[in-house]
Amino acid sequence: MENPHEEKQAVYLERIIKNADKCLEAIRELNASIEAICVSNHDVHVASELFENYRRNVSWNLKQHPMPEPVMLEQRLPNETEPAESPAASPKRT
């Protein structure tokens, strides 16, 4: 005579194995997607390393050779008391 508990256990084990297989397949797909993302981000990673090295080099060079202070030129505004000479206003010499 067959044991009904063994039949239920066999059904449960079959369902567990089927769900574990589905879970394993989903994890494999996830790993493949993550790997594809990492490959596509490689160029961005290399570019970020280049810019970081450039930033460090610029910082080091600025510390070694500081830039001089900017020279401020004095701006002269036209004096309102002295009229500007125009060719029409100048006296003619004969």
**How do the domains of the chain map onto residue ranges?**
4-64
What percent of the chain shows pLDDT beyond 70? 82
Are 78 and 84 in contact, with CB atoms under 8 Å apart? yes
Q: Give ∠ CA 50-55-59 in degrees, rounded to 5.
A: 150
pLDDT tens by residue, 27-67? 999 999 999 999 999 999 999 999 999 999 999 999 998 87
The pLDDT of residue 23: 98
The pLDDT of residue 56: 96
Name the helix (H) or strand (E) containing 15.
helix 4-40
